[in-house]
Structure 1
Amino acid sequence: MSSPAAAPDKETLKLLLPLRYDGKTVVECNRFVSQLLIYWAVDTTLSTIELKVQVALSLLDGDARAWATPIFAQLAAVQIGTQGATTPFANEMAFLTVFKARFGNLDDAAVAQVELTKLCADKTMREKRTAAEFSALFKGPADCSGYGDLELRDKYLSGIPSRVYRKIELETFATWQAADKRATEVEQILNVSRARRPELNNFFSARGRGRGGARGGAPRPQGASASINAAIGKGDFPGSCFGCGKQGYRHFECPNCKDKPYTKRADVRATVASGSTQAATSAPVASSSASTNTTAAKSESSELADLMAQMKSMREELEHYRAMKEESF
């Protein structure tokens, strides 16, 4: 009669331990289960289901370990005799059934492709998250999807925020990682620009109200000149106001002229009237037709001077806006 086989020593048991499993692939899941069954059968010291499950859970990493954490807590409660604590599994097969249900149905490529499709098709979240956040979500499925570089590049570009995509859509990238690097750089530039934008927006809105107020009779906001100087970092104006001639001020920020719209109509009329008086005292009386022609000429001269003054004002403000835009963006 043969004697029972001796229990394996510790060195042999170490060699028989299953390889660690991180919950990534079906092949590794099946391998882990097969090795675990062999180890349970060989190690006779594992006399209870709790000990067997503990050994299995201690060999898990990554996603599999995160799944196992609550089970660890339940086993610990059973071991210290916590009131109401129950054994999570009745036997080995109960544990393996739950384990395979969680990790035995994975197909890396197919699952990753589905995840990428859902991620890139989510138009609502596309505008809410940053390019960096999208890249973090994209990387995992991309590595497991089996797609080529060009396919991954196109999918990546289809999922980044549109404000970033518009800046790089004409550029060429060989891989999605190259596109990601460029998108991150562009997003940082846009963030810096957005951080400087509130002061500029306040200035433009103030200028818009000021122009409307001038037409409607209301004074312009007095903070407009301070806003633009703060926004674009300019010093004192090197020229002079074309309304009153005050040195160091543009017309719209001149303390003498900023509260009222400026035209040269009154000045021109006074000049024309003065010239007409001198002509009347020194020249003979003209005919009625000559008087009519003189009146028409004075009216045309006044309108022409007025238009020229308005054009000069518009040109100065346009140059002012262009300088501010170049400085800010």
Structure 2
Amino acid sequence: MSSPATAPDKETLKLLLPLRYDGKTVIECDRFLSQLRIYWLINMSLTTIELKVQVALSLLDGDARAWATPYFAQLASVQMGVQGVTTPFRDEAAFTAAFKARFGNLDDEAAAQVELAKLCADKSVREKRTAAEFSALFKGPADRSGYGDLELRDKYLSGIPSHVYRKIELETFTTWRAAEKRATEVEQILDISRAHWPELNNFFSARGRGHGGARGGAPQSHGASASINAAVGKGDFPGSCFGCGKQGYRHFECPNCKDKPYTKRADARATVASGSTQAATSAPIASSSASTSTASAKSDSSELADLIAQMKSMREELEHYRALKEESF
């Protein structure tokens, strides 16, 4: 003769308690009812339908709890013995039927649309995941959502990392799949570019040391010039060297000037001095007051030429920087 089954302890009952349900999806509705039937069967202390329903309603959240609120009030009235109030459900099958009538016919498209909205609105995670990771999360709900191509495209673009979106925001896509393909390509290009940043940092630091020497009156670094030439290239410069005037060369790559000791101020003053000497040999000396005014004019012209030389150098630096940024992308 078999011994009677012993009731499970409280710890076991806690483990068997159904997961809470918020009334959002059909899948979770079916799971909740399955777990609830097992719990009703195992928990021997639930001897009445009122106790069983009370436990079930206590596990509901969100929309499901709003549906359960009137039944909570009805059960409370029954327990208090209020006249004219009856039990909301006569048995377990009646509760299950009412529950499935409310939550068993949820539109799966609506659930997918809610999932997409949450996925695209999560800005805190947006910058931490890659475009490929976002695409993997986006595909499932996108296929079930019922949205059209343009709606899905807009939602996809709103959820990819911002540094990728900035590169493709002016491009036109007809489907989210086309946007995904382009975003993946751009992300790969950016990853390759980011891998080369250490090389560019070394180049800029060498270039900075070279210009620092020029400002202090020392020759410009030949190694820095070589790295700049390799990064930018020769032959496309439309201007001319402002040291000797050679067409098609910047000053630092000009074969006439790049190996000569150089400072901007000395170069500018040499140019002005050369023009002043020619003027002096062709014109007679007038007076000491004229000499004084000529010397003053020389000083002003020297300062102006110095400023012009500095402006040309700054313009060249900006051109180098733009070229490097375009090549890095």
RMSD (Å), alpha carbons: 4.6
Asked if 1:267 corresponds to 2:270, the answer is yes
Q: Which residue type is aligned with residue 256 of structure 1?
A: K
Structure 1, residues 258-290: CA drift from partner, whole Å, max 9, x if none?
7x55632452465477568868xx95x643432
Alignment of 1:1-329 (within 5 A): 26=27, 108-208=108-208, 210-212=210-212, 214-215=214-215, 223-232=223-232, 243=243, 251-252=251-252, 254-257=258-261, 261=264, 263-268=266-271, 271=274, 283=284, 286-329=286-329
Q: Secondary structure at the residue paired with 1:180?
A: helix
Taking the aligned partners of 1:289 and 1:218, their CA distance within structure 2 comes to 37
Asked if the contact 1:150–1:175 (Cα under 8 Å) also holds between the matched residues in 2, the reply is: yes
Asked if the contact 2:232–2:324 (Cα under 8 Å) also holds between the matched residues in 1, the reply is: yes
Q: Secondary structure at the residue paired with 2:231?
A: helix
Q: Which residue type is aligned with residue 188 of structure 2?
A: Q
Taking the aligned partners of 2:203 and 2:292, their CA distance within structure 1 comes to 48
The Cα of 1:304 is off from its aligned counterpart by 4.1
Q: Aligned pair in 2 of structure 1 residues 292, 28: CA closer, same or farther (>3 Å)?
A: closer
Percent sequence identity is: 72
Q: Secondary structure at the residue paired with 1:109?
A: helix
Q: Aligned pair in 2 of structure 1 residues 276, 105: CA closer, same or farther (>3 Å)?
A: same
Taking the aligned partners of 2:177 and 2:167, their CA distance within structure 1 comes to 17
Structure 1, residues 8-27: CA drift from partner, whole Å, max 9, x if none?
xxxxxxxxxxxxxxxx9649
Between the two proteins, the alignment pairs up a number of residues equal to: 230
Structure 1, residues 168-188: CA drift from partner, whole Å, max 9, x if none?
223333332222222223323
Asked if the contact 1:109–1:144 (Cα under 8 Å) also holds between the matched residues in 2, the reply is: yes
- Using the size of structure 2 for normalisation, the TM-score is 0.52
Which residue of the partner structure matches residue 65 of structure 1?
A: none
- Using the size of structure 1 for normalisation, the TM-score is 0.52
Taking the aligned partners of 1:267 and 1:162, their CA distance within structure 2 comes to 52
Q: Secondary structure at the residue paired with 1:264?
A: helix
Q: Aligned pair in 2 of structure 1 residues 257, 324: CA closer, same or farther (>3 Å)?
A: farther
Asked if the contact 1:199–1:227 (Cα under 8 Å) also holds between the matched residues in 2, the reply is: no
Taking the aligned partners of 1:262 and 1:164, their CA distance within structure 2 comes to 45
Q: Secondary structure at the residue paired with 2:261?
A: coil
Give unmatched runs, 5+ long, in structure 1: 1-23, 34-96, 98-103
Asked if the contact 2:264–2:309 (Cα under 8 Å) also holds between the matched residues in 1, the reply is: no
Structure 1, residues 188-247: CA drift from partner, whole Å, max 9, x if none?
333333334443343334434544564467876554223323434669x9x99754899x
Q: Which residue type is aligned with residue 289 of structure 1?
A: S
Taking the aligned partners of 1:234 and 1:291, their CA distance within structure 2 comes to 45
Q: Which residue type is aligned with residue 199 of structure 1?
A: E
The Cα of 1:121 is off from its aligned counterpart by 1.7
Taking the aligned partners of 1:27 and 1:126, their CA distance within structure 2 comes to 27
Asked if the contact 2:218–2:261 (Cα under 8 Å) also holds between the matched residues in 1, the reply is: no
Taking the aligned partners of 2:268 and 2:229, their CA distance within structure 1 comes to 30
Q: Which residue type is aligned with residue 261 of structure 2?
A: C
The Cα of 1:139 is off from its aligned counterpart by 0.7
Asked if the contact 1:149–1:174 (Cα under 8 Å) also holds between the matched residues in 2, the reply is: yes
Asked if the contact 2:232–2:320 (Cα under 8 Å) also holds between the matched residues in 1, the reply is: no
Taking the aligned partners of 2:213 and 2:105, their CA distance within structure 1 comes to 68
Structure 1, residues 101-150: CA drift from partner, whole Å, max 9, x if none?
xxx97953344333222221221221121111100011112222333333
The Cα of 1:159 is off from its aligned counterpart by 0.6
